Amino acid sequence: MKRIITKQKGNVKTKINLSPQSKLFIKLISFSKTQLDEYIGEQLENNPCIEEKSFNRSKRNEVMEYFDSSKHEEKKLDLKNYLSQQLITLNIKKIKKELIYYLILLLDENGFLDLEYDEIIELFKNKLDKNLTRIEIDELIIFCREKFEPSGIFVKDIKESLIIQLELNNSKEIEIKKNIIFNDFNLLNKKENKFLIKKYKCTEFFINNFIKELSGLDPRPGLTINNNSEVEYNTDYEAFVFFENKKLIYQSNKNYREIKISQYYSSLMKNKESLSNEVLNFLDSRINEAQTILNTIKERNQMCEKAIKLICNTQKDYILKGEKYLKPLRLADIATELGIHESTVSRITSNKYILTKNGFINLKEFFSNKVDSNKNFSSVSIRSIIKELIQNEDKRTPLSDQDILDILKRKGINIARRTIAKYRNILKIPTSSNRRKKR
């Protein structure tokens, strides 16, 4: 790869000239299978040297046939229908689906839940005859934020939406960013960088990167779905993944058009003497372009398969048993193992799902930070364990944070008591004294 180094004002800047195939790879690796099919459709229209392969549906895998999006009635979606479609795929109890469906109906066009807890509690009681506590509603909302796309919904406002999106993207130095959004969002919009740098004791580089990061987020994610007339019912996933005799089976979703170089134009190129220079140059350019597209699609699929297999083998217990078994995993871990850049892993895992026997899983769900002294326990898995312990406690003598700390130590989980308090607050679970039921 050729590098051009230029000096400017004493600084050395390195510019990398990417090949056309490298540029195309960066574009295609972030595409879902539906987006890939749309891209292929454009190429079929624009390049006469590309043609579609004949498609024998009987050769498709039975699982793919069952989940083929062509079996679903195609119709335009608004946000609530879009979320209801995702709800159907979740492997949860019927009563929980009913509660979530009603929460979906309460969302506004932005995807925001602009209601107070007392209002939601009253609505559940009157409409569904369900008496839910504030904690139970919080648990439902947190579940929805983690499971549904687009990210950043089931929140009160734009600020909360941006913070949720940052958290789901595993953004670094999240606490400073949350403080800036909550306390100085207007200054951030006005790009009052000097004031922010001074107040938060950070660098201009940090603020500029933060602004750039926010520009890639959607402040009103629900509105994007409502305004998108192209959104249709479909089951868009990268692959069907399951384990058989402890071995991972990966079946790629072939629900996109496969292409090849036109035999007609290839045969013309064999008789170059009969072609004018203009026609020869045109065909040569278009055939080379077509070959680049074919190679890049193949490279994209191979890289996605490698990354997803590695992720799924690492998180096998999570796929089979649930979030309590989610291991610490970073984008950088996958990048190092595959010998690729972290940004490539980020593109691979963006806007992509896999299909498992328990439903769909967003690839972003597989990533969670480790707790400092615990190599085998992620923050998500520890929160899940704490939640389960509290759910099963004797409400007459609820577990204190110290009790939970002692139980976790016996499980080989060594964390500080303040961390337990922090996770309990994230889960919106009150202290033991406030959980105690009167005799």
- Domain limits, the chain: 79-147, 158-217, 239-278+293-366, 371-435
- 87-96: long-range pairs with CB below 8 Å, 24+: 87/148, 89/235, 89/359, 89/360, 90/147, 90/359, 90/360, 91/358, 91/359, 96/140
Q: Which residues, 6+ apart, have CB-to-CB distance to 169 below 8 Å?
A: 151, 364
Give me 305's structure tokens.
Answer: 């398969």
Residue 76, amino acid: K
Strand pairing category for 3-8 and 11-16: antiparallel
Q: Are 120 and 100 in contact (CB under 8 A)?
A: no
Closest CA to 67 of 229, 230, 303, 233: 233
Give me 5's structure tokens.
Answer: 């180094």
Handedness of CA 348, 349, 355, 357 (dihedral sign): positive
Query: Tokens 């299909």 identify what position?
Result: 355
Query: Does the domain made of 371-435 have the CATH classification 1.10.10.60?
Result: yes
Region of residue 173 (phi > 0: left; psi between -120 and 50: alpha; otherwise: beta):
left
Within 10 angstroms of residue 378's Cβ, the number of other Cβ atoms is 24
Three-state DSSP at 262 gives: coil
Please report, in tens digits, the pLDDT of each residue of the chain (439 residues total): 444 444 444 444 455 678 888 999 999 999 998 899 999 999 999 999 999 986 544 334 444 443 444 334 444 557 888 888 788 767 778 888 889 988 998 999 899 998 888 889 888 888 788 888 888 899 999 999 888 888 889 999 999 999 988 887 778 888 999 999 989 888 888 878 888 898 889 898 998 888 888 888 888 888 877 665 444 444 578 988 888 888 898 988 887 888 999 999 988 888 888 888 998 999 999 999 999 999 999 999 999 999 999 999 999 988 888 777 888 899 999 999 999 999 999 999 988 888 887 677 889 889 887 765 556 777 778 888 888 888 888 888 888 989 998 888 888 888 888 888 888 888 878 888 888 875 5
Task: Give the model's pLDDT for residue 10.
Answer: 47
Task: Give the model's pLDDT for residue 271.
Answer: 83
* H/E element, 288: helix 277-314
Q: Are 166 and 158 in contact (CB under 8 A)?
A: no
Within 10 angstroms of residue 162's Cβ, the number of other Cβ atoms is 23
For residue 242, the cross-strand partners are 249
Strand pairing category for 353-356 and 239-244: parallel
What whole-number distance in Å separates Cα of residue 353 and Cα of residue 67?
13
What pTM did the predictor assign? Answer: 0.53
Within 10 angstroms of residue 206's Cβ, the number of other Cβ atoms is 18
Query: Tokens 């994209």 identify what position?
Result: 300
- Burial (0-12, 13-18, 19+ Cβ within 10 Å), 211: middle
Residue 362, amino acid: N
Closest CA to 352 of 316, 300, 315, 317: 300
Q: Are 342 and 272 in contact (CB under 8 A)?
A: no
Task: Give the model's pLDDT for residue 230.
Answer: 46
Strand pairing category for 239-244 and 3-8: unpaired
In 3-state terms the chain splits into helix, strand, coil percentages (rounded to 5) of: 60, 10, 30
What whole-number distance in Å separates Cα of residue 357 and Cα of residue 241?
8
Residue 194, amino acid: K
Task: Give the model's pLDDT for residue 375.
Answer: 60
Angle at Cα 125 formed by Cα 121 and Cα 131, nearest 5°?
75
User: In this structure, what DSSP letter does residue 194 have?
Assistant: H
